[in-house]
Structure 1
Amino acid sequence: MGSPYTHPASDGTDVCHRSRPERVLAVRAALPDRYRVLVEIGAGLGLRQGEAFGLSMEDIDFDAEIVHVRRQVKMVRTKLCFALPKGRKVREVPLPSSVAKALRQHVEFLAPVPVTMPWDDPRPPQTPVEAKHRRPRTYNLLVTGREHKAINRNYFNSSVWKPALAEAGVIAALEESAPDGSRAWEPSREHGYHALRHFYASEQLEAGESVVSLARWLGHSDPGFTLRKYAHFLPRAGARGGAALDAVFA
C-alpha cells in the first residue's frame, strides 16, 4: 500500500516523494505558527532544509521576484554555523507570488532575527587564516527557533516536523516510547523536509518547465542528474509535440 504522502503513478506503482498538495497543506497546518512558512520555502522555492534555515530578509527581492540562495545553516559535530549552499554554489530561484505573500505575512507575524554564527566551521580557529575565514557573520534570519536562534535540524526534525507529520496523518506515532522517555515515531525518512523539495521539482516538471531551468533552481551542477532523478514526473514523451503537429495538419 502506498504512503498517504504519495499518490499512485499512472502505471499503478507508487511514486516516492510525490506529495499530494493536500498533504503538504495538512502538514503546514499542523506546524507551529513560527515554522509554517518553511513549507512554502521548501515546496514553493525548492530549498534544502539548511538553506531554508539560513534564508535571510536580504535574500528576498520582491520587486524582481527572485530569491537569492546564498547560504545554509550547517551542523558540524552538533554545533551550528553558516556556510555556502551544498556544492558551494549560490543561485537564484524564481519567487512565485503566493510564496512572496506567505513570506510577507510571516515577517509581519514574526520579524526577522539577527543571528550571529561562525562561517563554515564552528570550531575554534588554530591559525590566523582560519580565524579570518571563520569569523562570525550576522544575518537577519526569516525563521528561527523559540529562543530566537538558528534552527537545529535535529531538534526540528524530531520535535517539530515528525509531530506535524503524525498530526497530518502522514506517519503514525509508535505506542512505545524511546528508552529516554521521548516520543518514538515510525520510520519516516522518505517524509523528511526534503520531500518538499521533491514536490517542488515534480510540480515544475509537470507544469512544463525545462530540466535545465529546474537543475539551475535546485542547485544541481548537472541537468542530467536532475533528469535521471525526476524523469518519471515529465509529461508523457511526445504528447505535446504530437498535439502541436496535429494542430498543423488537422
Structure 2
Amino acid sequence: MASIKQRADGVWRARYRDDAGREHARHFTLKRDAQRWLDEVAAAVVTGQYVDPKAGRITWDEWATRWMERQSWAMGTHEAATVAVQSVPWRDGPIAGVKSSHVQAWVAAESKRGLAASTIKTRLNYVQMSFRAAVADKVIASSPAVGVKAPRGRKAEAAMRIMSAEEVNAALDAAGDFRGFVEVCVFAGLRLGEAAGLQLRDVNFLGRSICVARQVQGATNKTAQIVPPKYESERTVYVPDELMASLAAHVKRQSVTGHDEQLFVTPLGRLWHRNNAAGEWRRIRETAGLSDEVTLHTLRHTFASNLIAQGCDVVTVQRALGHSTPSITLNVYSHLWPSAEDKTRSATASFMTEIRNSADSLRTETKKPQFRGSRQR
C-alpha cells in the first residue's frame, strides 16, 4: 500500500509498506518527485530488485564477517579473504554507503603502497565476491565494485623467473638437510605446502612416483596444520631414479621409518610452513648467491619450464602441476611453449632439409660412372 499526502508545511510525504509490513516514508518538496520515488519502488518490487532501505545500514565489517562464516573454505583461503576485507577504508560505515569511486580509490591506494598487482587483484576479488553476496541477499541493490579493475601486472614472460642449471646446483649445494625439500619442489613441481605435507607413505620408491595427498597450511608453528591439498591438486607425480635415490638417502639419514611420519621436518621436529620454509630458503639463496627474485615457488616454475622444453603437451604439464584445468596452465606458462611461428618455421625447415637430401641423393645416383662390359673376341 502506498500513498502521498501534503503536510501542513507544504511538504509532500510519500509512504509505502513492504511485504513484511514495515512502513517506509520520504518527504519531497514537489509532488511529482514523491510520485517518481513511489514508482521506482513499485518497479523494483515487480522486477524482484527491491531492497529494504534499512538493510544496507549494516556495517561492512558486520556483513563481511557474516558472509565469511557461511563459506566452506580451507584455512588458507579464509585467511586471505580476511586480510582482503579488512584492508578497505570503509569498514565501520554502512555497506549501502560505499560507492564505486570509493572502491576504485582503495585499489589505487593499495597500488601506491607498493603491493604487487597480483596481490591487489586477489584482494579485489574477495571484496567483489562479498558485494555480490550482499546483492544476492538483498542487502544492497547493486554492487559498487562492478567494473572496478586491479592494476595490470607484468607480462608472464617478463615477470616469471626460471632458474638455470648452475643456479639449481648452487641452491642444492647450499641446502644442507633442506636439500630433499628443495629437490621435490624443483624436480617434482610440488608447492611449498605440498612438499611440507609429504609423508613416507607418499613416496613409492619402486614405482618411482610421489603422491600428493595432503599439504601444510598456516604461516606459524601455532597455526600450521596438515589438510587435504588444493581443489583437484591431489595427484601422482612420476619422477626419475635419481630423485628416488636422493630421497632414499634422506630417509636413511633422517631415520624416517613410520609410514605416517613427515618426510621433512625442522631441526626441532616441527612442520615446515610458509614462514620458516621461506626463512630457510632465504639462507640458501644468500649462501648460493641467488637474487631476491628467486623464491621457493621459482623452483616449481623451473620444473614446469623443463617439462615444456622437453616437449610435454599442456595436459601432461597440467596434471604434473596439479592445475584443475589446462586453461590455468596455459594462462601461466603459455609463453614457454613454441609459438605458431616457431612451429611453422621448424616444420618447414625439416621439410626443406628432407627435399634437399632427396635431391642430393638423386644427383649422386645420376653422376655414378657407367662401365661397359669388355668386348668378346
Please give the per-residue CA displacement for 1:58-77, whole angstroms capped at 9, x wherever unaligned: 11112222211100011177
Matched, 1:140 2:261: yes
Q: Distance in 2 between matches of 1:64 and 1:45?
A: 14
Cα gap change, 1:221/1:15 in structure 2, threshold over 3 Å: closer, same or farther? same
8 A contact 1:113–1:144 mirrored in 2: no
Which of 1 and 2 has greater Rg?
Answer: 2
Cα gap change, 1:201/1:26 in structure 2, threshold over 3 Å: closer, same or farther? same
TM superposition outliers: structure 1 runs of 4+ over 3 Å: 239-250
Please give the per-residue CA displacement for 1:8-58, whole angstroms capped at 9, x wherever unaligned: xxxxx8663211111111112112x22111121001000000000111111
Opposite residue 146 of structure 1, the aligned amino acid is P
Q: Distance in 2 between matches of 1:27 and 1:52?
A: 17
Equivalent in the alignment of 2:332:
229
> Which structure shows the higher helix fraction?
2
Matched, 1:154 2:241: no
Gap regions ≥5 residues in structure 1: 1-12, 115-137, 172-187
Opposite residue 273 of structure 2, the aligned amino acid is N
8 A contact 2:217–2:224 mirrored in 1: yes
Local SS of the residue matching 1:203: helix
Q: Distance in 1 between matches of 2:297 and 2:265?
A: 19
216, 230, 236: which one aligns with 1:92: 236
Local SS of the residue matching 1:87: coil
Gap regions ≥5 residues in structure 2: 1-156, 357-377
Equivalent in the alignment of 1:163:
283
Equivalent in the alignment of 1:112:
256
8 A contact 1:111–1:142 mirrored in 2: no
Cα gap change, 1:244/1:48 in structure 2, threshold over 3 Å: closer, same or farther? same
**TM-fit CA distance, 1:80:** 1.2
Cα gap change, 1:240/1:100 in structure 2, threshold over 3 Å: closer, same or farther? farther
Matched, 1:216 2:337: no
8 A contact 2:193–2:273 mirrored in 1: no
Equivalent in the alignment of 1:22:
166
193, 197, 209: which one aligns with 2:300: 197
Matched, 1:60 2:203: yes
Q: Distance in 2 between matches of 1:109 and 1:213?
A: 33
Q: Distance in 1 between matches of 2:332 and 2:172?
A: 25
8 A contact 1:53–1:150 mirrored in 2: yes
8 A contact 1:17–1:195 mirrored in 2: yes
8 A contact 1:208–1:235 mirrored in 2: no
Q: Distance in 2 between matches of 1:109 and 1:215?
A: 33
Q: How many residues align?
A: 196
Q: Normalising by structure 2, report the TM-score.
A: 0.48
**TM-fit CA distance, 1:89:** 3.4
* Larger relative contact order (Cα-Cα within 8 Å, sequence gap ≥ 6): 1
Cα gap change, 1:245/1:61 in structure 2, threshold over 3 Å: closer, same or farther? farther
**TM-fit CA distance, 1:198:** 0.2
Q: Distance in 1 between matches of 2:272 and 2:233?
A: 22
Cα gap change, 1:230/1:155 in structure 2, threshold over 3 Å: closer, same or farther? same
Q: Distance in 2 between matches of 1:108 and 1:243?
A: 51
